[in-house]
Amino acid sequence: MSKTSSMGRGMMAILAVGARHAQGHDGGTVADVAAHLEKDRSQVSRSLKGALQEGFLARTDNREYRLDWSVLADAQLVTEQRLKTDGLSALEGLAAETNEACFLGVLSGNSTVTIGEQVPASANLVGSWLGRPYPAYCSDAGQALLWDAPDDEVRTLFKTVEFVKHGPNTPSSVDDFLDRLNQARARGYSIVDEEAEPGLYSLAAPVRDFKNEIVAALQIVGPRTRVEPQRESHAMALRSWCEWLEAMVGGPAASPHRP
């Protein structure tokens, strides 16, 4: 039997254990996993023992196999590091392609915080946004970072937030924000048109990690008069660099499309 097929069987066994966790079980015996995979018990047993030896699984006193959560924690740390390093590469590439200021933001409570930026000299933006929070209901990254959030979760997040007007088009309520978020989902990227401040226009899209969870938002920000006419071409560049960054952090993108 080839090494590749053996590795594949091992991954299937690990995913089957993970599926049992998702169903509310603490883990699974060899019989449980074999039934889930509809495979021979002896073959599944070898796969599980191999995953145990490699540190992907642990074993309980009840002879059940469960995921070793330290592996997940290590993967999370790697993702955070890749966001900082490969995130900068994505920002540099996107800024070079659009000639606009580009940012990488994360969610912190009901605010967004910039963790990376690339601002071409021609963008004429003064100052840095690194580490600075901004209200998520009207920030350039807010809609993208709340892309997967159910309506109830968004309402809870903004329950105590006063929707202060920061620009002529700032959302006036949670319902207003949700309406714009739904439009963004249908479009495939968010547009923040003079919501954060007068004259400012931005596009943003979510970046997903190996758990298919949104960990950041990639943004293009600039004057409305300059960015809005280039919206479609900028949106294509944004999607492409989001896919590249997702591939770097183990997200759903199949492979990197950029150098």
pLDDT tens for the chain, 259 residues long, are 334 356 567 777 777 777 777 677 778 898 988 888 888 888 889 888 888 887 778 888 788 888 776 655 555 565 677 787 889 999 999 999 999 999 999 999 999 999 999 998 877 776 677 888 999 999 999 999 999 999 999 999 999 999 999 999 999 999 999 999 999 999 999 999 999 999 999 999 999 987 788 999 999 999 999 999 999 999 999 999 999 998 888 767 544 444 4
Residue 194 contacts by C-beta under 8 Å, 6 or more apart in sequence? Answer: 167, 168, 169, 200, 201, 224
| DSSP alpha helix (H) spans, the chain | 3-22, 30-37, 41-53, 69-98, 142-145, 151-157, 174-187, 224-227, 231-248
Residue 213: CB atoms within 10 A of its CB come to 11
Q: What is the largest CA-CA distance in the chain?
A: 67
**Measured between alpha carbons, how far is residue 160 from residues 58, 156, 173, 187, 231 in Å?**
43, 8, 11, 29, 34
**Whole-prediction pTM:** 0.71
Report whether 86 contacts 216 (CB < 8 A).
Answer: no
